[in-house]
Amino acid sequence: MPRLITGLEAAKVRANLERIKERIAQAGRDPAEVEILAAVKYVPIDELDTLSEAGVHLLGENRAQDLEAKAGKHPEFRWHFIGQLQSRKVKQILPYVQLIHSVASRSALEQLAKHGTPDTQILLEVNVAEEREKAGIPPNELASYLQASPVKVVGLMTMPPFTKVPEESRPHFARLRELAQAHNLHHLSMGTSQDFAVAAAEGATIVRIGTTLYT
């Protein structure tokens, strides 16, 4: 299991944030159009003040119980849920999040129908590479999920197949962009520390950054 990220320094995080924005600009995008989400799965709750000091405003948590604890103590941040969504956790996370990135099951839609509000917004997670044993909606089922959603779908999210070569993710990011355009969806959550520049070039509106922001 990865170690917790401790000893954060505001100046270092701020400098990393600027470097990430520079790389987004070098990829041909206006950094103002690409939100940088700090993934805080391994950042302890008592380190979050440092992120605020560094100018980080958007946080993403993977685990419902940690989201509840962190967002409850730090409402000054905007919070997104970015982990694999279990339908039984939908009710727990809804009071804290502005956006859920990872809706990918009919059971999650059923819980959103019960507990969502007119303000609830989600992204549908698409398994663009159609990998076995990976979460996500097959591309050919996207239209039916959009039709069935009881809350507002504002975009799509994906996790491409693991690779150490960022360029190998480009076709998958491009495919997600094409799916979003076909369904008139604006937001694209794609790209992490290793491949966010490629994701930005292919249209990401949210990139999910962990270690690159902290180290």
CATH number for the domain spanning 56: value is 3.20.20.10
179 lies in a domain?
yes
Token output for 19: 């470097």
* HSE value, Cβ hemisphere, 13 Å, CA-based, for 175: 18
Is pLDDT at 2 greater than 90 in this prediction?
no
pLDDT (tens digit per residue) in 115-157 = 999 999 999 999 999 998 899 999 999 999 999 999 999 999 9
Domain presence at residue 5: no
pTM listed for this prediction? 0.96
The residue whose two tokens read 């076709």 is 171
Is the per-residue pLDDT at 173 higher than 80?
A: yes
Number of domains present in the structure of the chain: 1
Whether 3 maps to a domain, the answer reads no
Domain membership flag for residue 1: no
Classify residue 205: in a domain, yes or no.
yes
d(CA 141, CA 122): 17
Averaged pLDDT score across all residues of the chain: 97
d(CA 46, CA 90): 25
Predicted local distance difference test score (pLDDT) of residue 113: 98
User: 4 in a domain, yes or no?
Assistant: no
pLDDT, tens digit, 9 for 90 and up, residues 85-121:
999 999 999 999 999 999 999 999 999 999 999 999 9
Q: Which domain holds residue 40?
A: 10-214
Question: pLDDT tens, 7-55?
Answer: 999 999 999 999 999 999 999 999 999 999 999 999 999 999 999 999 9
Residue 170 lies in a domain: yes
Asked whether residue 126 is domain-assigned, the answer is yes
Tell me which residue of 154, 153, 158, 168 sits closest to 192, measured CA to CA. 158
Share above pLDDT 70 across residues of the chain, in percent, rounded to a whole number: 100
Whether pLDDT at 1 is above 70: no
